[in-house]
Amino acid sequence: MKFKYFGHSAFLIDELLIDPFLTGNPNCSTLPGEVKCNIVCITHDHSDHQGDAFEIAGNNDATIVAIHEIAQAAASQGLESIGMNIGGWVSVGEWRIKMVEALHSSGMGHPCGFLLKKQGTGKTIYYAGDTGLFGDMKLIGDEGIDIAMLPIGDRYTMGIRDAVKAVDLIKPGLAVPMHYGTFPAVAVDPEEFKRQCPVEVEIFQLGEEKDL
Single-letter amino acid, residue 123: K
Q: How far is the CB of 46 from Ni ion (least distance, A)?
A: 4
Q: Among 19, 45, 52, 130, indicate the residue that binds Ni ion (CB under 5 A).
A: 130
Q: Which is nearer to Ni ion, 63 or 131 (CB)?
A: 131
Q: How far is the CB of 21 from Mn ion (least distance, A)?
A: 8
19 binds, among Mn ion, Ni ion, none (CB under 5 to 8 A by kind): none
Over the window 109 to 138, marking each residue x when it contacts Mn ion by CB under 5 A and - when it does not, the resulting string is ---------------------x--------
Total number of residues that touch Ni ion (CB under 5 A): 2
**Choices 47-55, 59-67, 115-123, 204-212 (CB under 5 A): range interacting with Mn ion:** 47-55
Burial level of 105, CB count in 10 A (0-12/13-18/19+)? exposed
**Choices 17-25, 94-102, 122-130, 137-145 (CB under 5 A): range interacting with Ni ion:** 122-130
Burial level of 4, CB count in 10 A (0-12/13-18/19+)? middle
Q: Among 5, 10, 22, 46, indicate the residue that binds Ni ion (CB under 5 A).
A: 46
Single-letter amino acid, residue 189: D
Q: Report the interface residues with Ni ion, using CB under 5 A.
A: 46, 130
Q: Report the interface residues with Mn ion, using CB under 5 A.
A: 48, 130
